[in-house]
Every structure is written in C-alpha cells, then in structure tokens.
C-alpha cells in the first residue's frame, strides 16, 4: 500500500489560497450609484421590440391614419405609395373599412359590460367577498375603467399588446388605488419570454418623461442635498434655462415614431427609466409548525430561530410533549427569486431602488400579448391589411380608368366644317340645349358622332365585391354584427344567428382581454388589502348595494384569501330587465314585500319611493307608541309642546318659561 503524501499546510495556504464561498446576491451598487448592467439589460429589451413597435405603428396608421404610407421602389428611388400615385397625376383615394371593423369589435365589448366579483374561499365568510367586490367596483368608478378598458382594447387589437399599471398613491387630492394605461412605445419586456401566460417574464419596465421639478419631488425624499444632486445630473433640462425649440403638431403628429431610449423628444423634459427585474438572493424558507405559516427571512435570522426553538423545546418538554411532536420553527436555505425595482437616469445613475413593496410580490404592470405564439405577436388588425390595400387599389384603379376613358368626345370631320365656323363654335353649339349645327356632309360620308366609352367592363367592380367579402370573412366581423340592415325576406331568427356567429369568432380576443383585466383587478385587490385604512366609506352608485358593503373594513379582509373572477355586469339593460321581471313575479306571488322589491330591483324611482315608505312607517310606529303610552297625538302644525317636554321644563324656575307654557295650554 503506497504511503499517503504529506502536505505542508502553511506552504499550501501561501501559494494556493482557499477562496471563501461567494455570497449569492445579484443586487449590487446602491441608491445614487451607477448600475450600468441593469440599464444595459433594459436597453436590450427595449431594442428587441423595435420591429414589434414598427409593426404596431403600421397597423395604427392603416386603422386611423394613412393607408398609402408604405414605401415602394420605383426605378432607383423609394417613395411612398401616396407620392407614387400623385406623381402619375392621380388621387390616392382611401376607403377605411378597418376602422368600422374595430368599432364593431369594441362596440360588442361595451354592450356586454362585465365587472369583477370576489368570492371568499371560506363560504361562511362570503360577506368579505361582497365587501371586496363593492370596493373594487368603487375603484372602477374612480378610475373610469369601463372607458379605459375600451381604449386599451383598441391598442390590444392593432398592436397585439394591452398594458395597465396599478399603483397606490396621492392623486387628485386623495390617497387611493390608481390605474393607468401604458403606451406600448414606452414599454419594454423580457425578450426571452415563451410562455403565453408570461409567467417566465424576468424584466419589465417603462420610460417616463418628466420635468426636473417632478423628478426632484419624486426622488429627492425631502433631502435638499439629493434634490441638488438630481439637478446636477439633469442640468441640460432646467426649466428656467431651457430654450424651447421643440414644437409638436398637437393631436395630429405621432411623436413616438422617432422614440429614443435615452433622450426625450422634448428637450425641456428629463428621461427616467423604470425597471423591474427578477433578482436572486440567499434566504431562509421558514415554516412555523406552531402557527402553520410559511414565509422567508434573511440568513441573519437563523440565530433568532435557534433561540426560539430552544425556548420552545424547554416549554414543550415541561409539558410532556414527545420530541417528534414538538411544534418548532423549521427552516432551510434556498435561493430566493424576487422582483426588484430601479428608477434610473439615462447615464445609469440609480435614483431609487428596492425590493417590491407590494403584497402581490410582483411588479405593478399587467400586460397581455395576443396571440403569443413562439415568442411572437400577431395583432388582430394585421390579418386583413392586404384586403384593405387591395380595396384602395381597385378604387384608385377604377378612378384612373374613368379619367382616361372617353366621356362624350365629339368626332367632327374637318371637311364638314361649315363656312365661317370654328371648332370652338361647334363645341359651344354642341353643348347648348336645343342647339343646331348646319354642316355639309363630306364626300366620304362620315358624319359627326359622339364617343362614350364604357368603363364598367374592367372587372374592377367584381374584384371589389370579392375583396369586401374576404375582408368580412378574415376579420370575422360580418354585416350582421356591424348593424347592417338584412336583405328583404331574411327571418329574424337567421339574422340573430348571424350576429351570434360573428360574436363567436371574436371569443378568443375577448377571453384574452378578460385575462388581462383579471390580472389588473387582482393587483388592485391586493393593493386595497395592503394600503386601505381600517375603515373607508365607499361612494358607490348602485341601487342594490347593501349598507354593509358601503363601508370597507380592512380588519375583516386584510388577511382573507379571496378569489376574483370577471362576470357579466348587473348594470346592463338586458340584465336589469330580466331581474326586474323576476322580482315582479315574486312580488305578485306574495313571496316578497314592496320594500324587498325596491331594494333588490333596478327601478329609477326606487330610492325615492323607498324613503317615502320608510318615513310613513316611522310616523305610524310613532303614533302607535304614543297611543300605547297614553300620550295625546297633537295635530301637526299647531306648535303644542308635548307633555313629557312640559314636565321637563316645569322643573325649571324660570318665570318666562312658565308663562310660555301657560299660554300654550290656553291656546290648546
């Protein structure tokens, strides 16, 4: 057996130093320091969406703006299709069918309003779900989300992505939950995503353009030194020194066409880059077997857990609990994945950073890409751009044919021209009503004739009809869904079925948008649970809201597990009609009284009538109580003091009061 080699530990330590284990923590730097690698990751993600943004802008132009803006090659030059037609002396006619299709899709969405409904996982505590539902509907009213959803659906259709941002803060004079629509030109996201649910997203962010004072107010944190530091960084855009050379064509020009990641379009503004990134860190995954809680802690908390376990062992041993049955704190080492935010300048300076402060443990953005196939987006509008292009081309071609065709051209032989007449005289006489032209026929026998060419035989009308039909078939928006009048003799059931079939073809779009709204509403619910004060009175415009749902009690729902779902709203006319009919039948059968009918129905006069009924009931109850106590019920308007009040006043020795009482008795 060979003898083992002996190692000189001192020499080995000198020439082969052992490195200590590197601490796992992907967050480096700190506030008001440089962090170039995070900024580089954000720029890479933003640049990777360049083709996506260009495609979305093209779809937007075809839907709302110029349908002749594509560039084509003519000879050695590249010009737009519009300019090419103008160069040929034509007029680029545009017949926008895509806008009407989008209106129909958005109109169907608006006609079937939906709302969030919260359901408590404990059926015995369903009142918590109703309270949260009422509070979420208040957030809907506060942010005007029904209108904002319709606008975002339009972005969703032509760009392929819908984005919301949910925050809690001070705005419009109140601290509340606020939702904003994020423009796709200011948004960037992880380019390596493949999951249609976007659960593999590791980076997301937004570009902000603010004034220097807005930046200082948001990030100075009440420190004049930090405010001065921010002013030094953004020295080029001090409001009092900036020369306004930026002029935009307001409400007409798209200022996002030349969007830059680092520089804002307006030189008087400052660019702030908001970045949310998944980071990794060593932590402890803790399970308290006594309370059943699971949570995570820093490595430094290990000593405290060991001390607590020693105390529990002593206490539970004294109680005779077996070691295997003791309720201790179990923990294990793991690498935690969590969301971390950065607010940065274009130079890489960190204005603010930290771990996500939200209970939902994620970023504030809610976004949905549809359809998301193999990491690519294929917007709804992009499917039928070619049909729209061909429709415009056919109409313009027909216009060219009509311009170039003969329309009442007069062929007058020169040798038949009468003496003393010119061709201008002939043309004037030809166009005059009841005009007469005397001429001598020529030897060859040709007479003047008018030529009118038939420009309708080019086949353009048939091709146009085919393209219009293809446009409806490809988009799935049929004539019935657009509200077109049916052909004569069409049964009502058939027309209704055609409308239903068109709606079915759009179900996939509405379902994807519903998932986006559910994610946003779930984050709104978590923000409400986290930040709302102990008691908050909800101003909710609902006829069927119970008094308990008007007051939000944070103590009841703060730690509740609540599921959220998007269901059909009770504010639609169809739902209200069905509900009122059902309640009227119950009332006629005597199963409910008039108050229950008014409280649960959706009648425009319900509140006023309900108040009148309750006021009349209170008067009757008061009169009955007076009769039981033997008190005379005095007629209203006579000003007689009640007997119990008289007894209370009689104890007073003020002679003036006694005289007033005596006078009242005489009048009575």
**H, E, C per residue of 104-134:** HHHHHHHHCCEEEEEEECCHHHHHHHHHHHH
Q: Is-contact 210 273, C-beta < 8 A?
A: no
User: Over the stretch 52-61, which tens digit does the pLDDT of each residue have?
Assistant: 999 999 999 9
Q: What is the pLDDT of residue 661?
A: 52
What does pTM read for this prediction?
Answer: 0.75
Q: What is the pLDDT of residue 639?
A: 46
Q: Where are the domains of the chain?
A: 281-336, 571-623, 641-668
CA-nearest of 565, 566, 477, 520 to 162 is 520
Q: How far is CA 454 from CA 93, 407, 586, in A?
A: 22, 9, 70
Cα–Cα distance measured from residue 122 to residue 128, given in angstroms and rounded to the nearest whole number: 9
Q: Within the chain, how many helices (H) and strands (E) appear?
A: 22, 19
Taken in order 476, 480, 483, 485, the sign of the CA dihedral is: positive
Q: What is the pLDDT of residue 462?
A: 76
User: CA end-to-end span of the chain, whole Å?
Assistant: 130
Cα–Cα distance measured from residue 380 to residue 605, given in angstroms and rounded to the nearest whole number: 44
Q: What is the pLDDT of residue 541?
A: 54
Q: What is the pLDDT of residue 578?
A: 77
Which ranges of the chain have pLDDT less than 50?
A: 1-5, 7, 9-10, 12, 14-16, 243, 543-545, 548, 633-634, 636-640, 653-654, 667-668
Q: How far is CA 269 from CA 76, 187, 235, 237, 251, in A?
A: 41, 18, 11, 6, 19
Buried b / exposed e along 617-651 (16+ C-beta atoms within 10 A): eeeeeeeeeeeeeeeeeeeeeeeeeeeeeeeeeee
Q: Is-contact 459 394, C-beta < 8 A?
A: no
Residue with the two structure tokens 């002013």: 231
CA-nearest of 335, 331, 339, 388 to 361 is 339
């Amino acid at each position: 057996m060979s003898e083992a080699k002996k190692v000189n530990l001192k020499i080995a330590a000198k020439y082969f130093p052992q490195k200590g284990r590197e601490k796992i923590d992907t967050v480096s730097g700190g506030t008001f320091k440089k962090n170039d690698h995070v900024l580089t990751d954000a720029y890479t993600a933003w640049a990777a969406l360049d083709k996506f943004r260009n495609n979305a802008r093209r779809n937007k132009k075809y839907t709302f703006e110029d349908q002749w803006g594509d560039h084509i090659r003519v000879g050695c030059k590249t010009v737009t299709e519009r300019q090419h037609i103008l160069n040929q002396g034509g007029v680029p006619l545009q017949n926008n069918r895509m806008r009407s299709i989008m209106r129909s899709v958005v109109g169907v969405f608006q006609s079937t309003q939906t709302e969030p409904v919260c359901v408590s996982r404990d059926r015995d505590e369903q009142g918590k779900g109703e309270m949260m539902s009422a509070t979420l509907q208040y957030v809907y009213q506060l942010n005007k989300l029904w209108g904002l959803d319709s606008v975002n659906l339009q972005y969703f259709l032509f760009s392929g992505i819908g984005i919301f941002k949910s925050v809690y803060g001070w705005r419009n004079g109140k601290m509340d939950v606020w939702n904003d629509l994020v423009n796709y030109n200011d948004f960037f996201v992880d380019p390596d995503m493949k999951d249609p649910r976007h659960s593999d997203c590791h980076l997301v962010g937004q570009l902000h353009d603010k004034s220097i004072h807005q930046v200082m107010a948001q990030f100075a944190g009440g420190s004049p030194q930090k405010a001065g530091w921010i002013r030094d960084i953004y020295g080029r855009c001090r409001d009092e020194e900036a020369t306004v050379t930026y002029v935009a064509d307001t409400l007409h020009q798209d200022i996002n066409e030349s969007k830059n990641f680092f520089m804002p379009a307006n030189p008087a503004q400052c660019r702030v880059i908001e970045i949310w990134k998944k980071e990794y860190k060593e932590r402890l995954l803790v399970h308290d077997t006594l309370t059943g809680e699971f949570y995570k802690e820093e490595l430094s908390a290990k000593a405290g857990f060991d001390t607590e376990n020693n105390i529990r062992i002593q206490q539970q041993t004294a109680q005779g609990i077996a070691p295997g049955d003791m309720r201790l704190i179990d923990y294990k080492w793991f690498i935690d994945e969590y969301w971390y935010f950065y607010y940065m300048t274009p130079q890489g300076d960190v204005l603010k950073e930290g771990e996500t402060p939200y209970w939902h443990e994620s970023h504030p953005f809610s976004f949905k890409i549809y359809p998301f196939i193999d990491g690519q987006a294929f917007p709804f509008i992009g499917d039928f751009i070619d049909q729209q292009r061909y429709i415009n081309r056919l109409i313009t071609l027909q216009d060219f044919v009509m311009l170039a065709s003969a329309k009442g051209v007069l062929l007058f032989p020169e040798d038949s021209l009468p003496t003393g007449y010119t061709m201008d005289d002939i043309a004037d006489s030809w166009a005059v009503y009841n005009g007469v032209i005397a001429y001598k026929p020529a030897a060859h026998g040709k007479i003047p004739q008018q030529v009118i060419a038939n420009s309708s035989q080019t086949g353009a009308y048939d091709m146009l009809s085919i393209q219009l039909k293809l446009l409806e078939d490809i988009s799935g928006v049929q004539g019935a869904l657009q509200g077109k009048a049916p052909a004569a003799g069409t049964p009502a059931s058939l027309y209704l079925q055609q409308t239903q079939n068109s709606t079915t073809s759009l179900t996939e779009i509405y379902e994807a948008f519903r998932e986006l709204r559910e994610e946003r509403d779930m984050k709104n619910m978590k923000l409400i649970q986290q930040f709302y004060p102990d008691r908050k009175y909800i101003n909710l415009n609902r006829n069927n809201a119970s008094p308990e749902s008007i007051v939000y009690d944070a103590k009841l729902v703060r730690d509740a597990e609540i599921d959220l779902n998007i269901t059909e709203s009770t504010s639609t006319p169809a739902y209200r009609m069905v509900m009122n009919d059902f309640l009227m039948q119950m009332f006629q059968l005597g199963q409910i009284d008039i108050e229950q009918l008014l409280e649960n129905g959706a009648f425009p006069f319900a509140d006023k009538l309900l108040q009148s009924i309750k006021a009349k009931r209170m008067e009757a109850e008061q009169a009955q109580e007076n009769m039981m106590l033997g008190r005379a019920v005095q007629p209203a308007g006579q000003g007689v003091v009640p007997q119990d009040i008289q007894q209370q006043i009689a104890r007073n020795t003020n002679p003036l009061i006694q005289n007033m009482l005596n006078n009242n008795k005489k009048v009575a």
